[in-house]
Each structure stands twice: as structure tokens, then as C-alpha cells.
Amino acid sequence: MILGGVQLHEGDDHIVGLLTPDRVRDVAGAMADVGREALKAGWDCIDIEDYGPNFGHGDFVCTWANVTDLVVFFRRAADAGSHVIFTVGR
């Protein structure tokens, strides 16, 4: 969802991306439709071997909390007509 946009930097250990206000509005709309049950259904499909040693219910709870925070963040950014710059570690 958020990895689209313009890649400002792509390094060995992280990427930096920029979302335009139009893209921020798209992301905000898409994220508003993500429910806990749908995220959990996708979560349950993750291969534990691929994920790593910290896979479990507590990790999902943390992820869901982060997703709900991001929904609010993107809604506010969209309402303000803002760009969003983000980083993702690899």
C-alpha cells in the first residue's frame, strides 16, 4: 500500500519513498477499509519459517496497533493535502 510513490533512495539497508498528496489520499482510502479480521487472515498465512523467530500473537497485536495508528496518520495527511516521506528498513 505505502511502498508506491517515488523512490528517493534505495540502499542496501533501507529505502526512502515519497507519496504525493494524491497518492496519500489513495492510501488513506485503502487503509480505511483494512479491518482487524482481514489483517489477521493475511497474517495467519505467513510462513513462520520465512518470518523469523518472533512470530506470534504478540507480534500481531503490535502490528495491528501500528496499522490503526497509520490509518489515523494517513487520514490526517490526506485531509491536509500533505506529502508523506517514509523509510523502510530491509
Report how far residue 37's alpha carbon sits from residue 75's, in angstroms, rounded to the nearest whole number: 21
Q: How far is CA 34 from each of CA 14, 61, 90, rounded to the nearest angstrom?
A: 26, 15, 24
Q: What is the pLDDT of residues 37-64, one digit of tens each?
A: 999 998 888 888 777 767 778 889 999 9
The phi, psi pair for 7, rounded to 5°, reads -80, 115
Give the predicted TM-score (pTM) of the model: 0.81
Which pLDDT band, with edges at 50, 70 and 90, does 2 fall under? low
